[in-house]
Amino acid sequence: MDLIIAGNAGGTNVGASLLRAADQLGLTAHLCDTRAATRGPRIASTLSWRLFGHRPLHLNAFSRSVVASCRQYQPKTLVTTGQAPVNAGALREIGAMGIALVNYSTDDPWNPGFYAKWFSDALLEYDRVYTTRRANIGDFLRHGCTAVEYLPFGYDDSLWLKHQVRPAPDTHADIFFAGAAEEYRVDCIRHLIAAGVRVALAGDYWQRFPDLRSSCVGHLDPAQLAAWTAAVPLALCLVRRANRDGHVMRTFEIPALGACMVVEDTEEHREVFGPDGVAVRYFRTPGEVTAVAKELLASPETRQRLAHVAQSVILGLGNTYADRLRSLLQLNTAPRRESLSI
């Protein structure tokens, strides 16, 4: 077998996308679903997380299952995603089998909301770490990881292309945001609503805010998420500040669908899309997001132009998860298509 992936199955999870990418590349792969490490009574899971240093309830049992899968399938590489629940002892045992160990770090391990000593120890066992945030590179190196590279998120071309989108939902929203609620994001949404911009919200925790409940559309499956993204005039892209993000999964998913983006201004976003007004419109404050949204809502022609350019950038420059998997496995990179002139 070419590889085993330890990551979440289903939905828009990176682990599931990498499994589909492996099939596209003609690689034999097996997914160890990391959700198994947290299944169990909610109270027990919560206590384990809060009292034992963000420890998944079944960390050791899941780690043993990954070792067993590696022994059974003898893959060339184990790729784990995020804060994968595979402990240091299991990784040492897998490494002793001659299997390469790679972590695709999709969350900030030093975010106080996620930091875990068991995972900090496990990081030192990986042969290579790829991180989706430049802000983490120095942290990994100081921690003792010897091979660290930046590798952004991508898009899953089995989920995020225009021809796959369901019929448009019945919506009168002006702007759509998908992602968990946190303080800065809430401020941005409240500014938009106060200015009369109609917002649709998908994701965790928005129902906790009584004034925003009427804007919530609930949890959406990938097909519903794509349909909403494509149907609403504007798509809002906000990073998670607690995670020190420079970009997020939606950075690539939104333009792949051909939607017009209003994007939080970061160095990583400018690295992808270029200056303001070329492929996307940027903002830095809640007040700016409202001004930019209103300008774009008043100009359908501008929205169409920006969406077209952003889509050409993302689709033309090797940003699928098949491309990311090539990098993770250090395979030869496929020829990249030329993007449209901008």
Q: What is the pLDDT of residues 252-275, one digit of tens each?
A: 999 999 999 999 999 999 999 999
Buried b (16+ CB within 10 A) or exposed e, 115-145: ebebbeebbebbbbbbbbbbebeebbeeeeb
Q: What are the tens digits of pLDDT across the range 51-83?
A: 778 889 999 999 999 999 999 999 999 999 999
Q: What are phi and psi of 78, to 5 degrees?
A: -105, 120
Amino acid sitting at position 253 = E
Q: What is the pTM of this model?
A: 0.91
* CA distances for 210 relative to 47, 203, 332, angstroms: 28, 15, 51
pLDDT at 340: 33
Encoded tokens for 230: 């494509």
Q: Residue 236 forms beta bridges with which residues? A: 262
Q: What are the tens digits of pLDDT across the range 111-121?
A: 988 899 999 99
CATH numbers and ranges of domains, the chain: 3-153 (3.40.50.2000), 162-316 (3.40.50.2000)
Return the beta strands (E) in the chain as ranges.
3-7, 29-33, 77-81, 100-105, 128-131, 148-150, 175-178, 199-202, 216-218, 234-237, 260-264, 281-283
Residue 24 clears pLDDT 60, i.e. is over it: yes
Report helix, strand or coil for 89.
Answer: helix
Backbone region of residue 98 per phi and psi (left: phi > 0; alpha: psi in -120 to 50; beta: other values): left
